[in-house]
């Protein structure tokens, strides 16, 4: 009788588990937050790597993102999925970092990179392992402006309107950057 009851319950009640670690973490439970971290770190790290194009820096930004998430978690209202909330937060951490650090890099990379990023592909050698570059490596070599739009749109699935808001550009600018990124990637992948 007991077993029957249990099986009924097991088949009808969906798992509450992911919600619960987030809720516990929001209430200050660090162990629960570590589980949230473990469950999400690869996703967040991937966003950071692809957005900033530097693995070492991406590791630091990933840490910053989770510290921010911990601080802001009590404010998370569950209006969006937790993962959506967290990924957006990670994107913001990378973009804010760009404002501080990126200026030097942008300057080093020839003005605002946006005009003739093509030169990057022309000049730089393909990545060490490759006769034929894989997409991951090709993304890394994109000029920063095109890379950010490409990652946000084609990898992360944001819409142009959202990207425009995040990056402080127009929706049309976002579309143009995306197209340019795809053309550059195609060129890189075909060589």
Partner 1 sequence: MTNRPLTCEQFDAALSDYLENALDPAERTALESHASTCDRCRALLAELSAIPTEAGALHDLEPSRDLWPAIAQRIAAPVVALPGAAARRERRPSVRPWYLTPASLAAAAAVLIAVTASVTALAIRTGRTSAPAGAVAANNPAPAAQPNDSQIDIPAPAPRVTNASATRPNAVPVQEVYAREIAELDSIVRDQRSHLDTSTVTVIEKNLHIINQAIAQSRAALARDPNSGFLHHQLNDALNQKISLLRTVALLPART
Partner 2 sequence: MCARFVSALCLTAAMAATPALLPAQRQHRNDDDETSRVDTTVALSSGGVVELSLISGEIKVTSWNRDQVRIKASSDGGLLQFDATNGRVSLTVRSDHDDMGDTEYDVTIPAGARLITHSVSADITTDGGSDVEAHAVSGDVSVSNVTGRATIESVSGSLTATHVGHGLRVNGVSSDIKATDITGDINAQSTSGDIILGSTHSSFVHTETVSGDTRFGGTLDRAGRYDFHSHSGDIVLAVPAIGVTFDISTFSGDVQSDYPMTLQPGSEVGQKHMEFSINGGGARVTAETFSGGVTVERPGHSSHED
Q: Which residues from 49-78 bind partner 1, rule CB under 8 A?
A: 49, 55, 58-59, 62-63, 66-67, 70-71, 74
Q: Counting Cβ atoms within 10 Å, is residue 181 exposed (0-12), middle (13-18) or buried (19+)?
A: buried
- Partner that binds at residue 175, options partner 1, partner 2, none, CB closer than 5 to 8 Å by kind: partner 1
Which residues are at the interface with partner 2 (CB under 8 A)? 2-3, 5-7, 9-11, 13-17, 19-20, 23-24, 26, 31, 34-35, 38, 78
39 is a contact residue toward partner 1 (CB under 8 A): no
Specify the 3-state DSSP secondary structure of 96.
Answer: helix
148 phi-psi bin (left φ>0, alpha ψ -120 to 50, beta other): alpha
101 is a contact residue toward partner 1 (CB under 8 A): no
95 is a contact residue toward partner 1 (CB under 8 A): no
Contact 69, 93 (CB under 8 A): no
What's 15's DSSP letter?
A: P
Q: What are the tokens at 24?
A: 């516990």
- Partner that binds at residue 17, options partner 1, partner 2, none, CB closer than 5 to 8 Å by kind: partner 2
């Amino acid at each position: 009788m007991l077993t029957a009851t249990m099986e009924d319950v097991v088949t009808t009640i969906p798992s509450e588990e992911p919600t619960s670690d987030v809720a516990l973490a929001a209430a200050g439970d660090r162990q629960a937050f570590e589980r949230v971290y473990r469950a999400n770190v690869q996703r967040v790290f991937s966003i950071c790597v692809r957005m900033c194009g530097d693995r070492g820096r991406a590791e630091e930004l990933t840490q910053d993102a989770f510290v921010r998430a911990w601080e802001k978690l009590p404010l998370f209202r569950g209006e969006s999925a937790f993962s959506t909330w967290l990924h957006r937060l990670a994107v913001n951490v990378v973009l804010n970092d760009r404002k501080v650090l990126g200026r030097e890099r942008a300057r080093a990379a020839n003005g605002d990179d946006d005009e003739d990023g093509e030169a990057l592909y022309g000049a730089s050698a393909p990545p060490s392992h490759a006769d034929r570059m894989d997409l991951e490596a090709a993304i890394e070599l994109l000029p920063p402006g095109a890379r950010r739009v490409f990652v946000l749109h084609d990898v992360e699935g944001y819409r142009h309107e959202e990207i425009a808001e995040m990056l402080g550009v127009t929706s049309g600018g976002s579309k143009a950057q995306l197209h340019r990124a795809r053309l550059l990637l195609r060129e890189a992948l075909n060589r």
